[in-house]
Amino acid sequence: MKKVILAAGLVAAMSVSAVAADYVLKFSHVVSENTPKGQAALFFEKRLEELSKGKIDVQVYPNSQLYKDKAVLKAIKLNSVQMACPSFSKFGKFVPQLALFDLPFLFKDIDQLHKVQDSEVGQKLKDMVTAKGYVALDFWDNAFKQFTSSKKALIKPEDAKGQKFRIMSSKVLEAQFKAVGANPQMMPFSEVYSALQQGVIDGQENTNSNIYTKKFYEVSKYMTVSNHGYLGYLVVMSKKFWDSLPKDLQANVKQAMKEATAKERELAVELDKSQFAKIKEYAEKTKKLEITVLTPEQRAEWKKVMSTIYPKFYDPKVIGKDLIDAAQKVK
């Protein structure tokens, strides 16, 4: 009986909560709740509901429950969903300048990257997205990318010569590998494991979390910790929904997002470290994977060769010299 009363009380409380909310904000994303993005979305939900005193009811839908990244941007335009956090590549057709983050060795470390995102450069990129009918809120991290290969250890740029590397659709990544004499192969992410296993490709580039969760380390003989490129996301909101909010609730959204971004960045760094530790443990136990961490001098060699591609993207309709120069000046 007690259980029934408690359950009835909970339903009543939920009903009151639902009635009390003036706005419903559906936040759609494609990853699981135990990822940095998933955890940050839940943090944002809790924090915005607190700050708005329940006036905004945030509902988070992980694991592509509502939309996949390709479809979600259209859904946001229609206000069918109010928030999403797609990877930069999903904005490529209408804001190609976000490919700035694909440029190899543009960022010294994660701190410099965040300074760029929080600077005028980051704001310009967000303004470009907002101008296309969205409200760009903030950048969230995946992590820096590393190389793996089954053919040869990648210590010097010339080690990549002739190797076939999988890339996602990106002119920058295509140019990056061609600069070191490698052969870029465009391929869906879902096919990478079998392609490595069967020797269709020799190597790939990815974050530690992708290398670990997709077990690319099992079908690679060599891994190079290069931190040469970056994978990230942009949190966007429906303009129609944003415009419907009074100023005080817009301020609440901005504050909750600021705190969620700080949380997401912390979680992304923690996950990157813990999953690299697991890859390292596998390498030490099995002796089937050789890991090389590039020294600052070795990294400088790679940067010297790969950064020769930057001028190819000076056209403002692609990335733009101003953005690239401004990002390089941030220390």
Confidence label for 31 from pLDDT (cuts 50, 70 and 90)? confident
Q: Please, which residues bridge with residue 281 across strands?
A: none
Please, what is the average pLDDT of the chain? 93
Determine the Cα–Cα distance for residues 97 and 100; give it in Å rounded to an integer: 6
Determine the Cα–Cα distance for residues 158 and 25; give it in Å rounded to an integer: 50
Q: Do 292 and 155 touch, CB atoms closer than 8 A?
A: yes
Confidence label for 280 from pLDDT (cuts 50, 70 and 90)? very high
Interval 58-83 mean pLDDT: 94
Looking at residue 14, what is its pLDDT? 46
Question: Is the full-model pTM beyond 0.85?
Answer: yes
Looking at residue 19, what is its pLDDT? 52
Amino acid at residue number 148: T
Determine the Cα–Cα distance for residues 11 and 16; give it in Å rounded to an integer: 9
pLDDT tens across 191-248, in order? 999 999 999 999 999 999 999 999 999 999 999 999 999 999 999 999 999 999 999 9
Interval 2-22 mean pLDDT: 50
Residue 15, pLDDT above cutoff 70 = no
Angle at 122 between CA 274 and CA 318, to 5 degrees: 105
CATH of the structural domain 2-329, one choice from 3.30.420.10, 3.40.190.170, 3.90.1150.10, 1.20.1050.10: 3.40.190.170
pLDDT tens across 77-121, in order? 999 999 999 999 899 899 999 999 999 999 999 999 999 999 999
Domain map of the chain by residue range? 2-329
Question: Each residue of 139-154: b (16+ CB within 10 Å) or e?
Answer: bbbbbbbbbbbbbbeb
H helix runs in the chain, sequence order: 2-20, 36-51, 69-77, 110-117, 120-130, 171-179, 192-198, 208-213, 239-244, 247-286, 296-306, 321-329
Residue 17, pLDDT above cutoff 60 = no
Interval 258-266 mean pLDDT: 97
Pair type for strands 134-149 and 230-238: antiparallel
pLDDT tens across 147-188, in order? 999 999 999 999 999 999 999 889 999 999 999 999 999 998
Return phi, psi of residue 22, to 5°: -85, -25
Percent of the chain having pLDDT more than 70? Answer: 94
Residue 59, pLDDT above cutoff 60 = yes
Residue 10, pLDDT above cutoff 70 = no
